Amino acid sequence: MHLGVNIDHIATLREARGVLEPEPSLAALLVEKSGADSLVVHLREDRRHINDNDLFVLKEVVRLRLNLEMSISKEIVGIACKVKPDQATLVPEKRKELTTEGGLDVIKNFRRVKSAVINLEGEGIDVSIFIDPDRSQIKAARGIGVRMVELHTGRYANAKDKKGAERHLKELRIAAEFAKSLGLHVFAGHGLDYNNVLGVTGITEIEELNIGHSIIARAVFVGLGRAVKEMKELVS
């Protein structure tokens, strides 16, 4: 199983002081050196962490697959088409949310999502859609024509007890199996950490886990390189 590392919160720390450091591109190089399989960043409409310049710099300096999380707004789609990341992952976005809340509702936003996918794929960008582990959402994503989906693991990660975690883990397993049966590549992420990630690694249909906050939080105490290596060992 592969590991994608999200470095948004390196930029969050920079923006807290409105200065130039820490520099996301330097963090990206360290993530690359430490064994990650892809680099993940989210260009939000409010630019609360990663900004446009970061994207262009990362595209130039990083050899890892660059996975850009993004909304389906025309502005962001336009920027992505200029940067040309290796992969774009379409996610929902609310201005006041602390972090992404749930998966993108493909059924409700079918036309807008399809338009974004067509524009991005037209520039040679692979497109994934971040969705809840729900059969109808998976079918809708497949109907749009994407080749990959990322399952939202938040309900599992935030479960309040063992019984709830087991129920949501089963939900993820069933969803991954269904997505795979439709010919989709399956990724997963959100809220995963060093304590709960092993449950998800047992789902063989999932090819990659995308993890950010817990790795950056651990890096405060052990360093970014070691934090990435420890998570890579768990995921592998």
Tokens of 67: 């996975």
165, two tokens? 């975690």
Q: Give the CA distances from residue 144 to residues 93, 141, 147, 188, in Å, rounded to whole numbers and listed in that order.
A: 20, 5, 9, 19
Nearest CA-CA partner of 101 in 91, 111, 110, 109: 91
Say yes or no to pLDDT of 214 above 60: yes
- Percentage of the chain beyond pLDDT 70 is 97
What pLDDT, on a 0 to 100 scale, did the predictor assign at position 172?
A: 98
The pTM score is 0.94
Q: What is the pLDDT of residues 113-151, one digit of tens each?
A: 999 999 999 999 999 999 999 999 999 999 999 999 999
The amino acid occupying position 30 is: L
Q: Copy the structure tokens of residue 194.
A: 């060093």
Known catalytic membership, residue 190: yes
- For the cut 80, the answer to whether the pLDDT of residue 38 exceeds it is yes
Question: 2-235 sits in which CATH class?
Answer: alpha beta
* Annotation says 69 is catalytic: yes
Which 8-state DSSP code applies to residue 190? S
Q: Residue 182 has what pLDDT?
A: 98
Which distant-in-sequence residues (6+ apart) come within 8 Å of 61 by Cβ? 25, 28, 29
On the question of a cis peptide bond just before residue 22, with omega within 30 degrees of 0, the verdict is yes
DSSP letter, residue 98: S
Identify the active-site residue in 69, 150, 205, 208: 69
The two tokens of residue 170 are 């089963």
Residue 41's nearest CA partner among 154, 234, 210 is 210
pLDDT: which is higher, 102 or 194: 194
Q: Exposed, middle or buried, 171 (CB in 10 Å: 0-12/13-18/19+)?
A: middle
Is pLDDT at 157 greater than 60 in this prediction? yes
Q: What integer is the mean pLDDT of 31-47?
A: 97
Annotated active-site residue in 49, 152, 168, 190 = 190
Q: Catalytic site residue 185?
A: no
At residue 67's C-alpha, the angle toward residues 103 and 229, to 5°, is 100
Q: What's the pLDDT tens digit per position in 50-107?
A: 999 999 999 999 999 999 999 999 999 999 999 999 999 999 986 665 565 689 999 9
* Average pLDDT along the chain: 96
- Catalytic one of 42, 49, 152, 168: 42
| pLDDT at residue number 71 | 96
pLDDT of residue 97: 55
